[in-house]
Amino acid sequence: MSELRFVRMGFGTEAVDYQVAWDEQRRVHAARFADEVPDTVILLEHPPVYTAGRRTQDSERPLDGTPVIDVDRGGKITWHGPGQLVGYPIQKLPRPVDVVAHVRRLEEALIRASAEFGVAATRLEGRSGVWVLGDPVDQRPAPGGLSLDFDPRLTDEEFDPRLNGPEYAPSNAGQRREDRKLAAIGIRVAKGVTMHGFSYNVQPDNKWFDRIIPCGIRDAGVTSLAAELGRDITIEEVLPVVERHLRDILEHADPKPREIVRASA
């Protein structure tokens, strides 16, 4: 693939409004489709905002009616805000596009970046994004001091952690030693060019996630580099490391079109 261009759009006091960034994504997307610009990764922070992908259900949105921006990416509802590094890789892929392979490359870059800071992150089968695995179920402390046999999440498919106190809050998954998401990924591919991308929790206030069902997942939570390391860490520290791993993986990838197997007549 061609050399990757990075655009640092705005951080901290210059965090970029979501709609402004979305408009810029569409502009760069059109330019990339026309081969007017190279593959580009836009990196930024957003002011606090909830965004909902196409598969989001009403029951996963904030109960208090907090505004949510509906977007055209895959995935479900999530939050963006200060302390979270957001990346929008806009790449032209060969057709037919292998969306899963693109997601796996983004995951791999963030897994390697996390390892560089001493956090053992990984994939979780059946769930996109980058995860820190919890303890085996039978070794986890039970919420509220109850036996795991009485954990309502095991028997109630509609269990709502937002209505059941802090012991079930997504932001407290680390204390419960449960699986917890370190980075979320949601993308869209239009005309063979990718949009949207990843949100990497560096040091956000994860309590923002407690007002929604993050990514529609009720039996796991969220975490951050800072929470896993037990120390402060800044976007400034993380940014060049993420850029380096994205460049290494995306520039050296060979995204061949997936093979189409046609049934014989």
Per-residue DSSP letters for 223-251?
A: --HHHHHTS---HHHHHHHHHHHHHHHHH
Query: 64, 261, 106, 93: which is closest to 190 by C-alpha?
Result: 93
Q: Which secondary structure element, helix H or strand E, spans residue 44, and what is its range?
A: strand 40-44
Based on the residue annotation, tell me whether 125 is a catalytic residue of this protein. Answer: no
* Distance in angstroms (rounded) separating the CA atoms of residues 86 and 96: 27
Per-residue DSSP letters for 89-138?
A: EE-B-PSSP-HHHHHHHHHHHHHHHHHHTT---EEETTEEEEEE----GG
Q: Which secondary structure element, helix H or strand E, spans residue 194, and what is its range?
A: strand 193-201
* Distance in angstroms (rounded) separating the CA atoms of residues 51 and 69: 5
3-state secondary structure of 68: coil
Query: 254, 258, 169, 263: which is closest to 214 by C-alpha?
Result: 169
Residue tagged active-site, from 113, 130, 189, 215:
215
* Distance in angstroms (rounded) separating the CA atoms of residues 262 and 197: 31
User: What is the rounded radius of gyration, in angstroms, for the C-alpha atoms of the chain?
Assistant: 19
Q: Which residues, 6 or more positions from 98, have their beta carbon under 8 angstroms from its beta carbon? A: 255, 256, 257, 258
Catalytic residues: 215
